[in-house]
Structures are given as C-alpha cells and as structure tokens.
A and B are shown apart, each in its own frame.
Chain A
Amino acid sequence: MAIGVKVLKRPETQVSYVRAMLKGMSLTFKHLFHPKVTMQYPEQKSTSEWTISQRWRGTHRMLTDEQGRAKCVACGLCPQICPANCIKLVPGEDEEGNRYPLIYEIDEFRCVFCGYCQEVCPEEAIHVGVHYENSEYSRSRFVYDLERLCAQTHPVSTLWDPADPKGE
C-alpha cells in the first residue's frame, strides 16, 4: 500500500466475545453506584475540586479612579490591537488637555476574548473579567458602553506571566 498502513492481526484463538460483553456489562453496572461528578450549576458554581480559573477571560470591565471616572486615556491602543475589531473608541479632550473617551463601546458578540486589550492598556483601565453569565433578551444589549463597562463589579482576569507560565 502506498501509505504503508500497518494491518494488525487480530488474536483469533483467545478472543471471547461473550466474555467481553459480560465484562462490559459488569463495568457499566458498577458505575451505577459510583459517586456522581455532576455539579449542580445554577445553585453550585464551584466545588472544592473545581473553581473557575483566575485567568478566565470573560466579558470586559473598565476600572475607575477615585473620582469614579474611567481610567481610560483614549490612547487608542486597544482598538488598534483588537483582532476582532470590536472596540469603538472616539477620543475627547477637556480644557486641561486630558484625553478621555467620548465614546467607548465593546461589541461582546464580536469579541474573541483574546485579552490583548488588557495586555496592551498602559493605564490598566480595560480588563477582561472572570465572569461568564451574560444572557440578555436582545442582541443590542451585547454592545457594552462605557457606563456599563465601568459598572461591572466582577473580578478581573490575571494575565499570563511568561516568567511564571503555570501561575504558581
């Protein structure tokens, strides 16, 4: 054969189909009494064996300063690096020359949750969050504006550190 498939000879004398069948049946029967591994999701969100990872990248959160304003300085790095092109940023400037976002919107449907926006942000303003319950009744509700991004309270994701690749 052209691609050199190795055909294994099946054992012919010691094969027992009835025994194999009974073995399978006894195995499944034993599993009837094994402890169950299902986590009862809406009531139970983590167990001693499983919690959500600190590096989980979920929907975004914008951090705010002491006055409750977004930390964002509208530098434009996050829309630049975003591979899904889901961040819409229109920068503005106040009388003192401080830049701030006039419009900052993230389309969470378009987002691929790569976390580059958090990595690239010089002010540590935009973050991906450790959060996964995002259901809404309409598609338009998935475009998060600045106000909504600032109002999120869930913990933010910890970025992968090349010096400590396993997070120890």
Chain B
Amino acid sequence: MTPELKGFLLISVAKLLLVFSVVMVGVAYETLLERWVCAWMQDRLGPNRAGPRGILQPIADGIKNIVKEEHIPATDTRTLYLLAPALALIPATMLAAVIPWGAPLQLHFDFTLGPLGRFTYDGLTSTAVADLPIGFLYVLAFSSVGVYGIALAGWASNNKYSLLGGLRATAQMISYEVAMGLSLVPVLLLTGNVSFSQIIGAQQQGLWFALPLLLSAFFFLTAGFAETNRVPFDLPESESELVAGYHTEYSAMKFSAFFIAEYSNMTTVSMMFTSLFLGGWDIPFTHWDETPGVAQTVATGLVFGLKVAALIFLFIWVRWTLPRFRYDQLMALGWKVLTPLALGYVMVIATGLWAIEQGLGITSPLLRDAALFALNVPAAFLLFRVLDRGTIIVGASRRPTSARPLGRAA
C-alpha cells in the first residue's frame, strides 16, 4: 500500500468511527428526548431517576436490553427470524455515511507508525465518510433495503399481528418511496446533481431549497414520516391494533435493534432533509463558513446538529399530537395525493425554471431561487386550499357505502 492510500484509509476509519458513534449516541438520546417531550406535553416530568435529571436513562435502557431474557417463538423460519433485526439495523446505520455534516477540512499529515509504515495525506477532505457522487440515490436505495428486515420479521415471527404489521410496512414503504423519490426530482432540476456536497453548495449560492422548493420540502417531509413509520403513519406497529406489529415477538436486544433502526432512520431523514432543503451545514447570512478551517468545520458541524435536532423535535412533536391514519387514508394519501402532486410539482418547477432562465434571462442563483419562491407562494396557497376542506380525507358520512345493512333495500 502506498502511504497516500494508508492515509486515506486512516482518515476514512476515523470519520467512520466519529459518524457512527455520534449517530448511535444521538439515537440513544433521541429515545430519552422522545420520552421527555412526551411527558412534558402530557404535563408529566418524564424519566428523571437515572443520573441527574434522568440523563443516564439511555445507558440504563441499553444495559437492560442486553441482559434481558430473550424469547424466541416456535417458528419454522428461525434463520429469517434471527436475520430480520440485522437486516433492519444494518441499512439504517449505513445511511448517515454519505451526508457531509460540516465544512470540508484542509488536512495535512505525514508520519510513520512503527511496522505499519508511513501515512500521508494532503488536501481537502469532505466531512462525509464517503462523499459519493450518487449522493441521495444511495440513501434512497439503502433505506428501501430496510423494509426487508421489517417484512421478514413480520413473516418469520409466526404471529398474525406481526404478519399484518410486516405486510402493512411493505405496502406503506413501497408506496411512499415513489412520492419521496418524485419529491426530490425538483432538487435535481435546480442543481443538476445528486451529490450532497454539490446540493449544499448550490444552496450556499442561492437560497435554502426549503424556500424555492417549498412544496417539495413538504412532500419529502410527509413521505419521510411515512418511510420511518412514525406517527401519523405508524400503521406497521400501531399498538392499539396490532399489539406491536412486526416486532411483537422480539425481545431484548433484537427488539432493541428494531428500535435503534427506527430512530436511526429518523435521524437519517432529518439529516437528509437538512442537507437537501435547509442548506446542510450552511450557516445563514455569512460566507465565513465557505473557507476551509478547523473553526469553520466545528461551527458548521454544530449548526448542522442544531438543524437536525430541530427536525427530530418536529418528529417527536408530531408523534405526540396527531392521531394515526386509517389504512385506506394512508394508501389514498400516498397514491392519490402525494404521488400525483409530486409529479405535477416537477412539471411546475421545470416550467418555472425554463420561464425564469430562458424567458426572463435570470442567471444569478439567488434571484432565480427568489423567483421560484414567488412562484411557490400561490402554488402552496392553492394546494392547501384544495388539500383542506375534507377533499382528501373524507369524513365517514361522505364516503360511498358499498356495504349496506342486511334486510334493507339499497
């Protein structure tokens, strides 16, 4: 191995360890935050026993799950049963690797480490573990692998509730993946690139895409809630109907694996939303963060963390406010509303971009984004006007009834 390759590997491993541990600790503390926010919203105190103010609660939970007795149901598909938690957890932990969490860092080192030989590195290194050129396509692809874990867990548990949960998860995640993919096409139109660093760069030049692509952000967030199986789309586990859905039969660390997968998917969706629509690690109203440096990397990393934390709070806030969808409403929202709307929005943005760039001859990214935002305001008003007023989620009294009471002429 050349010293350059060894240096590259060293940096990659260091970034890998950093990102993985930050995401895992983040996941642990998201569970605590979830319980706190839930408690506060219900005028309770929440966990406050383990350590000062309950701050060590995730550690206690982790130890509990590791030492807990495990129960494996009588099932013919024991291999799949054991494989399913891993299939859910592994893709979930792989997703955060491609998202740059801070400004790129200028690194230079050259040292010899005993029998391992010489390590050298010189140049600008991205803060993502692997700044893949295929960017968010990687995230979309791997997040859909996660559904195998859930579907197999449902199937292998040999339990009707688990099976229903697994089926629901499969249908739901495939449906909303379409809407999620389509909602990201406008981002492609604006940047012409799927790489996260290029998309963040484009947002530094113009506006954060949450403004010029307001509705796309809205669609993506909705689809993201559905993809992570969070309330109001938590039908795969819906406690009140299916006990615990696909993980009913899992205990101890295997259950924990599903739990970690769910929270780490939530983190990834938040990170992705931040990168694609909230400018990633960009600090607004300043160009100081665009020159590489250690201070810049730390500051932008903190800003990125703050944005992600705010989104995670939104996830939790929505979970403890909204009730769950009915299953037909979920499917109707996915296929009849989000998918066509996202498709139509691609047309709107494409036409708008053409008109702004070709018709009006605006080339400055800032002006272009501002003009697109101006286009979005009436579109959003129209959309919410239509979405609202019960046109989508029809009340029980207005649904066409196919089943009539017996002994009564239709």
Residues of A within 8 A of B (CB): 1, 7-10, 12-13, 15-19, 21, 24-25, 27-29, 31-38, 40
Contact A17:B40 (CB < 8 A) given known A25-B317, A25-B321, A38-B45: no
Q: 8 Å CB contacts to A: which residues of B235-268?
A: none
* B43 in contact with A37 (CB, 8 Å): yes
User: B389 is contacted by which of A1, A13, A33, A38 (Cβ under 8 Å)?
Assistant: A13
> Once bound together, how far apart are the Cα atoms of A18 and B40, in whole Å?
24
Q: Is residue B286 contacting chain A, with contact meaning CB distance below 8 A?
A: no
* B41 in contact with A31 (CB, 8 Å): yes
> Once bound together, how far apart are the Cα atoms of A59 and B140, in whole Å?
61
Q: Which residues of A contact B393 (CB under 8 A)?
A: 17
Residues of B within 8 A of A (CB): 37, 39-45, 317-318, 320-322, 384, 387-390, 392-393, 395-398, 405, 408
Task: Find the A residue at minimum CB distance from B36.
Answer: A32
> Once bound together, how far apart are the Cα atoms of A147 and B398, in whole Å?
70
Contact A28:B44 (CB < 8 A) given known A12-B398, A15-B389: no
Distance in Å from the Cβ of A25 to the closest Cβ of chain B? 5
* B388 in contact with A38 (CB, 8 Å): no
* A31 in contact with B40 (CB, 8 Å): yes
Q: Which residues of A contact B322 (CB under 8 A)?
A: 21, 24
> Once bound together, how far apart are the Cα atoms of A38 and B45, in whole Å?
6
Distance in Å from the Cβ of A49 to the closest Cβ of chain B? 14
Q: Which residues of B contact A31 (CB under 8 A)?
A: 40-43
> Once bound together, how far apart are the Cα atoms of A19 and B37, in whole Å?
23
Contact A29:B317 (CB < 8 A) given known A10-B397, A24-B322, A38-B44: yes
Minimum-distance CB pairs A-B, first 10: A10-B395, A38-B45, A28-B321, A28-B41, A32-B40, A24-B321, A31-B41, A15-B390, A38-B44, A16-B388
Distance in Å from the Cβ of A55 to the closest Cβ of chain B? 28
Task: Find the B residue at minimum CB distance from A39.
Answer: B45
Distance in Å from the Cβ of B351 to the closest Cβ of chain A? 26
Q: Which residues of A contact B390 (CB under 8 A)?
A: 10, 12, 15, 17
Q: Which residues of B contact A15 (CB under 8 A)?
A: 388-390, 395
> Once bound together, how far apart are the Cα atoms of A31 and B38, in whole Å?
10
* A35 in contact with B398 (CB, 8 Å): no
Distance in Å from the Cβ of A117 to the closest Cβ of chain B? 38
> Once bound together, how far apart are the Cα atoms of A21 and B396, in whole Å?
18
Distance in Å from the Cβ of B38 to the closest Cβ of chain A? 10
User: A17 is contacted by which of B320, B388, B398 (Cβ under 8 Å)?
Assistant: B388
> Once bound together, how far apart are the Cα atoms of A37 and B408, in whole Å?
53
> Once bound together, how far apart are the Cα atoms of A159 and B157, in whole Å?
54
Task: Find the B residue at minimum CB distance from A13.
Answer: B389
Q: Which residues of A contact B396 (CB under 8 A)?
A: 10
Q: Which residues of A contact B318 (CB under 8 A)?
A: 25
Q: Which residues of B contact A16 (CB under 8 A)?
A: 388-389
Distance in Å from the Cβ of B89 to the closest Cβ of chain A? 31
* B405 in contact with A1 (CB, 8 Å): yes
* B384 in contact with A18 (CB, 8 Å): yes
> Once bound together, how far apart are the Cα atoms of A31 and B36, in whole Å?
12
Task: Find the A residue at minimum CB distance from B37.
Answer: A32
Which of B42, B396, B398, B405 has most A Cβ within 10 Å? B42
Task: Find the B residue at minimum CB distance from A36.
Answer: B45
> Once bound together, how far apart are the Cα atoms of A21 and B322, in whole Å?
7
Distance in Å from the Cβ of A33 to the closest Cβ of chain B? 8
Q: Which residues of B contact A36 (CB under 8 A)?
A: 39-40, 43-45
Q: Which residues of A contact B41 (CB under 8 A)?
A: 28-29, 31-32
